[in-house]
Amino acid sequence: MNILNTPVDILQASRKLGGLSQTQNNDQDKGMGFADILKNSINEINSLQLQSEELKNNLVTGDLNDLHQVTIAAEKSSLAFQLTLQIRNKVVEAYQEIMRMQV
């Protein structure tokens, strides 16, 4: 099943990935534009990647012994990045479709 069928599906998937509840996002989204939502999502993805890198470094240096925690953080980061790429691909595809329309 492809979760990226509609813009609503994309936003719901990104909210679930970010770990925020639906009500928190609705309250936050009321005063925010699309650019703000996009910027916040990219910042969340960046923080997931930074957290994953920090945990990997801690594991290598011996400061952290829990391999499971490192693996989970790496998978979260990877899934967030993959979702971002899929959203970008859908946006580019939609833009190209609009550009092909005859007015």
**Interval 43-90: pLDDT, tens:** 999 999 999 999 999 999 989 888 999 999 999 999 999 998 998 899
How many Å apart are CA 81 and CA 77, to the nearest integer?
Answer: 6
- Return the pLDDT at 78: 93
**Cβ pair 4, 13 in contact under 8 A:** yes
- Return the pLDDT at 34: 80
- Return the pLDDT at 13: 62
- Largest distance between two CA atoms of the chain: 63
How many Å apart are CA 22 and CA 28, to the nearest integer?
Answer: 10
Phi, then psi, of 78 in degrees rounded to 5: -65, -45
What predicted TM-score, i.e. pTM, was given to this entire model? Answer: 0.61
User: Using CA of residue 45, residue 95, residue 34, residue 23, what is the dihedral sign?
Assistant: negative
How many Å apart are CA 103 and CA 101, to the nearest integer?
Answer: 6
